[in-house]
Amino acid sequence: MHYYISFGLSLLLGLLVLLGSYVWVKSRTLNHIPGPILARLTPLWLIYYARIGKRYMAVECAHKVYGDMVLISPNHVSICHPEAIKAIYGNGPNALVKSQFYNAFISLKPSVFSVIDSREHTHRRRILSKAFSSTALQSFIPTMKHHVSAFTSKIDSIAARSNTVDLLAFINYLTVDILSDLAFGAPLGFLEQESDLIAIKTSQGRHIEEHFSSMISEREHLAAVLGISSYFRYLSPILFDPFIRRARKSSSSLEQLAYSKVLERFCRGQNKDDILQRLIDSHGTTEHHQLGDRIEILTAETVTLLIAGSDSTANSIAAILHLVLIHPEVHKKLLLCLEDAVGSHKGPIEFKQIANVAYLSATIIEGLRYHSINSIGLPREVSSHGLVILGKYLPPGTEVSVPAWTAHHSNHIWGDPQLFRPERWLESDIQQCFLGFGKGKRACIGKHLAQMQMQLILSTIMLRYDMELESKDLLSSEGFLNRLSELKVFLIVKA
């Protein structure tokens, strides 16, 4: 009975959204932008594809049919053109702000990632930047090395008892341990326990266990779906969709985990030199919020760091490794370059030995282009001046984005986008069309930390193990990120 009522309500509300959108779109001035008929009428077209994890593919197909500018939702124009990258993500006084899409990513309070107001963002970003300064990055190296060593010990022992390993899972444990150690002064200990199962105390005081990686992927997927329409976001609590219920639970568990870490630090009054302490000190001295507000802001920043700092790095490393393993010529060349820099020993690597291996950096960025962990267009809002792109006028309030996957696979931009060819990054300066770390003032704050981790972890794995993929197919599914399903390899420690 409950099922039928929920289903009926969902249907009715869906129809209302459809009708409302139709009336609304007629009154707007985006009729000159082509796009799939359903997408022109209702956000449900985009919501559907985001929900089934195929948004970037649907948008890619729409661009193939309709050209560089496509209406992918009644108020959202997707633009795949170098000119659009500058116009949408460029800096300067007229820089566009993030759209309402990011409200769906808010945990308790907006974080540096989800905050929309430009002044508030500048303030938050300034505080966090200190934790990612070049001095801070240098101080992170021993922690990274320590956990990479624990990772190789673990993989060695697993390889000794069974030579197939899901490297994605272990790389995930490693990046979470590194990030949690840097952020809270102690790792969550996933490598040690060979699992990402974590005990969480809920807001009702119950103790539950959740898989960290599932919590993140469900939370991000939900936000990427609900962010598409604020109406849909408000209606979501009453919609009958087990995915929404499960993901809401995951979001709240993740919030609780971050909240407990922040609260613990406040109660114990520790004075550690980690990212959380730096945030506490800066927020304490520069803001006049009540204690409750401060804790909520710090929780929001902690959730962002936990998600952004581990998941994207682990998935990127796994995708790059997969691409290297299915391209023997790249594999061979990369190994030669690494052995040149480090020697053929398989022991711990010093970061400075591989920091300047140009072919390694080129392979990493080519992997980020080719697989595009971040595949969707990151939306911004046209300011009160309106915007002219490719000769077409877009009125104030229009959502605009450059679809990262489509841009990274555009023949027009790359010439041979279907080839995995690190050499392209050594031949010419093509950074301006690369969206892997975002662009402009909202670009990734953890870019250098991520690059350091990718360099260290990839070279360690490549120099230490002989590997063969169980399957050459790279299975992934898209939530907010285009995450891999697994990376199973037959692996032995090199002789």
Annotated binding site for heme: 444
Count of CB atoms situated within 10 Å of the CB of 197? 12
Per-residue contact track with ligand HEM, 376 to 405, x per CB under 6 A?
Answer: --x---------------------------
Ranges within 401-440 binding ligand HEM (CB under 6 A): 436-438
Which of residues 73, 213, 253, 374 is near ligand HEM by CB under 6 A? 374
Containing H/E element for 351? helix 351-354
Residue 132 CB contacts under 8 Å (≥ 6 apart), including other chains: 445, 446, 448, 449
Q: Which is nearer to ligand HEM, 112 or 382 (CB)?
A: 112
Among 33, 69, 337, 445, binds ligand HEM (CB under 6 A): 445
Q: Give the interface segment with ligand HEM, choosing from 149-157, 211-219, 264-272, 441-449 (CB under 6 A).
A: 441-449
Phi and psi for 282 in degrees, rounded to 5?
A: -70, -45
The token duo for 359 is 């072919």
User: Which residue of 295, 402, 449, 463 would you call a contact of ligand HEM, by CB under 6 A?
Assistant: 449
* Rounded least distance, CB 37 to ligand HEM, Å: 29
Residues in contact with ligand HEM, shown as a per-residue x/- string from 63 to 102 under the rule CB under 6 A: ----------------------------------------
Q: How far apart are CA 402 and CA 438, in angstroms?
A: 10
Return all residues near 427 (Cβ < 8 A) that are at least 6 apart: none
Q: Does 442 bind ligand HEM (CB under 6 A)?
A: yes
Shortest Å, Cβ 356 to ligand HEM: 19
Q: Answer for the pair 177, 190: CB distance below 8 angstroms, yes or no.
A: yes
Binding mask 281-320 for ligand HEM (x = CB under 6 A): -----------------------xx--xx--xx--x----
Q: Is 112 in the site for ligand HEM (CB under 6 A)?
A: yes
- The answer to whether 227 contacts ligand HEM (rule: CB under 6 A) is no
Q: Is 143 left (phi over 0), alpha (psi -120 to 50) or beta?
A: alpha
Per-residue x/- track, 313-352, ligand HEM (CB under 6 A):
x--x------------------------------------
Report yes or no: 487 and 166 within 8 Å, Cβ to Cβ.
Answer: yes
Of 253, 246, 204, nearest in space to 222 by CA? 246
CA torsion 286-108-274-167 (nearest 10°) is -150
Under the criterion CB under 6 A, does residue 217 sit at the interface with ligand HEM? no
To ligand HEM, the closest distance from the beta carbon of 443 in angstroms equals: 6
- Collect all residues with Cβ–Cβ distance below 8 Å to 367 and sequence separation of at least 6: 316, 319, 320, 323, 324, 420
Which of 45, 113, 173, 465 contacts ligand HEM by CB under 6 A? 113
Name which of 410 and 453 has its Cβ closer to ligand HEM: 453
Q: How far is the CB of 286 from ligand HEM (least distance, A)?
A: 17
> What string of DSSP letters covers 412-455?
HHHSSTTS--TTHHHHS--GGG--TT--GGGS-TTHHHHHHHHH
Length of the chain: 495
Binding residues (CB under 6 A) for ligand HEM: these are 112-113, 125, 179, 304-305, 308-309, 312-313, 316, 373-374, 378, 436-438, 442, 444-446, 449-450
